[in-house]
Amino acid sequence: MSSLELTQLQSNLRVKLGRVLIVEDEELIRETISLSLAEEGFEILLAEDGLTALEMFVGPVGNPQNQNPDIDLVILDLMLPGMNGLDLCRLLRYQGIDTPILIVSAKGTEIDRVVGLEVGADDYLTKPFGMRELIARCRALLRRHRGSSQPDANPVLKFKDITLHPKECRVFLGKKEISFSPKEFRILELFMSQPRRVWSRDQIIDQVWGHDFMGDNKTVDVHIRWIREKLENDPSNPEYLKTVRGFGYRLG
Ligand code: CA
């Protein structure tokens, strides 16, 4: 292989891996993340504060023509000078920008995590974290986002009284809208994409959390219970999400 071919191959690889915007005010962390991701072949953009990052998406504030749609993933610190990470996240979603956002923050309480996900972030990682974990999360987010943004890959899903709108992230039971956490939503979406298919706990983890999931597969049971509490008349005798003993779960 000539060096030209090699360069071309590398740049194709880079295009596939994606362009990552790192929003982080601490130089050392910014540089560490950026070096690790660049080594993996990601293309890197940097912002030291929220406003700079926002302008990379929507152009100078008040001049929304200059959108930059070429960012595939945002790694977002919460504690930033000026506009904080949560506000930035909320603003991006408000603008209709659905680029995956991974929050990295030293604030690791459950409250922060929940608030982060509620304002539209896709995942959350608590500092200090290992670079391998970060890279694995980035890859998983990109994989999921690309899988879900293929043209016409997101038809409205229906099963009995449940209607799920993948792009709007909304679920209705009859006419009543039910609110779901991102993980609950993705689990339900998985079931509704193939009704009556049995999914094992490991398959659900693989599809919803990604290969790098570090927790216990009882997590799945907990989420299934929460989903049942929202959808079922009698959660202990479910009509929708049924347990298939020894195998996993099935819709219908
Ligand atoms: Ca910070």
Assess if residue 240 is contained within a domain: yes
Residue 163 has pLDDT above 90, yes or no: yes
Residue 134 has pLDDT above 90, yes or no: yes
Confidence of residue 8 (pLDDT cuts 50, 70, 90): low
CATH number of domain containing 232: 1.10.10.10
Assess if residue 206 is contained within a domain: yes
d(CA 156, CA 149): 14
Place of tokens 């929220």: 50
What pLDDT was estimated at residue 3?
65
What pLDDT was estimated at residue 1?
63
Using one digit for the tens of pLDDT, what is the confidence trace for 27-81?
A: 999 999 999 999 988 999 999 999 999 989 887 765 555 555 589 999 999 999 9
For ligand 1, the distance from its centroid to the CA atom of residue 87, given in whole angstroms, is 14
For ligand 1, the distance from its centroid to the CA atom of residue 172, given in whole angstroms, is 38
Tokens matching residue 161: 């009284």
Are residue 67 and residue 141 in the same domain, yes or no?
Answer: yes
Question: Which segment, 18-32, 52-66, 116-130, is predicted with the most confidence on average?
Answer: 18-32
Assess if residue 243 is contained within a domain: yes
CB 81 within 8 A of CB 49: yes
For ligand 1, the distance from its centroid to the CA atom of residue 24, given in whole angstroms, is 6
Q: Higher pLDDT residue, 186 or 95?
A: 186
What pLDDT was estimated at residue 199?
93
Percent of the chain predicted with pLDDT > 90? 55
Confidence of residue 108 (pLDDT cuts 50, 70, 90): low
Residue 95 has pLDDT above 90, yes or no: no
Are residue 81 and residue 175 in the same domain, yes or no?
Answer: no
Using one digit for the tens of pLDDT, what is the confidence trace for 193-228?
A: 888 899 999 889 988 888 777 778 889 999 999 999
Residue 150 has pLDDT above 80, yes or no: no
What pLDDT was estimated at residue 187?
94
Confidence of residue 239 (pLDDT cuts 50, 70, 90): very high
For ligand 1, the distance from its centroid to the CA atom of residue 176, given in whole angstroms, is 40
Assess if residue 151 is contained within a domain: no
d(CA 128, CA 184): 27
Are residue 60 and residue 170 in the same domain, yes or no?
Answer: no
Residue 179 has pLDDT above 60, yes or no: yes
Are residue 124 and residue 163 in the same domain, yes or no?
Answer: no
What pLDDT was estimated at residue 207?
87
Q: Higher pLDDT residue, 168 or 141?
A: 141
d(CA 238, CA 220): 16
For ligand 1, the distance from its centroid to the CA atom of residue 74, given in whole angstroms, is 15
Exposed e or buried b per residue across 174-193, where buried means at least 16 C-beta atoms within 10 angstroms of its C-beta: eeeebebeebbbbbbbbbbe
Paired with 162 in beta bridges are 159, 173
For ligand 1, the distance from its centroid to the CA atom of residue 116, given in whole angstroms, is 15
- Domain residue limits at 233: 157-251
The whole-number average pLDDT for the span 108-120 is 74
Tokens matching residue 209: 């959390």
Percent of the chain predicted with pLDDT > 70? 85
Total structural domains within the chain: 2
The contacts of residue 248 (CB under 8 Å, 6+ apart) are 198, 199, 200, 201, 203, 204
Assess if residue 81 is contained within a domain: yes
For ligand 1, the distance from its centroid to the CA atom of residue 193, given in whole angstroms, is 39
The distance of Cα 60 from the centroid of its chain, to the nearest Å, equals 26
Q: Give φ, ψ of 47 to 5 degrees.
A: -140, 140
Assess if residue 66 is contained within a domain: yes
For ligand 1, the distance from its centroid to the CA atom of residue 67, given in whole angstroms, is 25
Residue 19 has pLDDT above 60, yes or no: yes
Confidence of residue 151 (pLDDT cuts 50, 70, 90): low
For ligand 1, the distance from its centroid to the CA atom of residue 81, given in whole angstroms, is 8
For ligand 1, the distance from its centroid to the CA atom of residue 26, given in whole angstroms, is 6
Are residue 135 and residue 26 in the same domain, yes or no?
Answer: yes
Assess if residue 152 is contained within a domain: no
